[in-house]
Amino acid sequence: MDLKIGELRAIVTAGASGIGLAIAKALVEEGARVHLCDIDPDALATARAALPTVSTSVCDVSDRAAVTSLFDDALTSLGGLDCLVNNAGVAGPTGRVDAIDPEAWDQTLAVNITGQFNCARLAVSHLAKSPNASIINLSSAAGRLGFGLRSPYAASKWAVVGFTKSLSIELAELGIRVNAILPGAVEGDRQNRVLAAKAVERHLTLDVMKREALERASIKEFITPQQLSDAILFLASPRSRTTSGQAISICGDLQSLT
């Protein structure tokens, strides 16, 4: 299928590693021009070496002044914008609500939902000039299910879905589609870190935690970043011109979270 995104100009937040880097690679392979941001300058340098056509900015999406600089850099480099992938999101603390450090709560929401607001608000005027404009927000299966011992993360990811559906309504008249992706357990470092923290909290081994994570899905496989990228390429393409306001689960039909 020709996705017709060879001319696409995209910003991917937290694109220096993990899922964001996989999305950036997939976009570049289709011929798109990509600007990445990340808080980690070393990881950005490694990403630039792997993807020499991308431009980059060091930026913490929860820092509004840094996001303003990110958009200045990206617009200078790309000359316009067709797609914003709001990928940045932190796992946040693990623990019962009465044990959660309030600062860790604030920080999780500041990155995971306010960070998406910080980027979306600056993207709108540029996206409005594009004939194929979209915003794609990373939520999580924790954006449609309860997630015991991870309340800051779940609260932030449910917020992403509300944000997505609201923007879809208000930005349609500008020709901007807005969708959310809700991944289940994605293979990679982050998943290992999260399951290890939970294993400690529940006095279980990492292997037992991994088995439990998959037991609750109908398709008992970890999700690959490539599967997420495939969906994101479609959502960024004019092929999805009537798809907006959707919270799309890519999770092996996960029934509950552990």
Active-site residues, by number, are: 153
| Chosen residue from 12, 33, 34, 38 binding ligand NAD by CB under 6 A | 38
Minimum distance from residue 52 beta carbon to ligand NAD (Å): 18
Integer-rounded Cα radius of gyration of the chain: 18
Q: Does 26 bind ligand NAD (CB under 6 A)?
A: no
Give min distance, CB of 245 to ligand NAD, in A.
19
Sheet (strand 176-183) strand order:
55-58, 33-38, 9-13, 83-86, 133-138, 176-183, 247-250
- Alpha-carbon distance of 248 to 74, in angstroms, equals 27
Q: Report yes or no: 142 and 183 within 8 Å, Cβ to Cβ.
A: no
Which of the ranges 35-43, 75-83, 97-105, 210-218 carries the binding residues for ligand NAD, by CB under 6 A? 35-43
Binding to ligand NAD (CB under 6 A) within 61-80 occurs at 61-62
Binding mask 140-169 for ligand NAD (x = CB under 6 A): x-----------------------------
Where does residue 80 fall: left (phi above 0), alpha (psi -120 to 50 degrees), or beta otherwise?
A: left
The yes or no reply on residue 93 touching ligand NAD (CB under 6 A) is no
| Cβ at position 110, least distance to ligand NAD in Å | 8
Judged by CB under 6 A, the number of residues near ligand NAD is: 29
Angle formed at CA 107 by CA 223 and CA 208, multiple of 5 degrees: 35
Interaction residues for ligand NAD, span 97-126 (CB under 6 A) = 111
Asked if residue 252 binds ligand NAD (CB under 6 A), the reply is no
Q: Is 84 left (phi over 0), alpha (psi -120 to 50) or beta?
A: beta
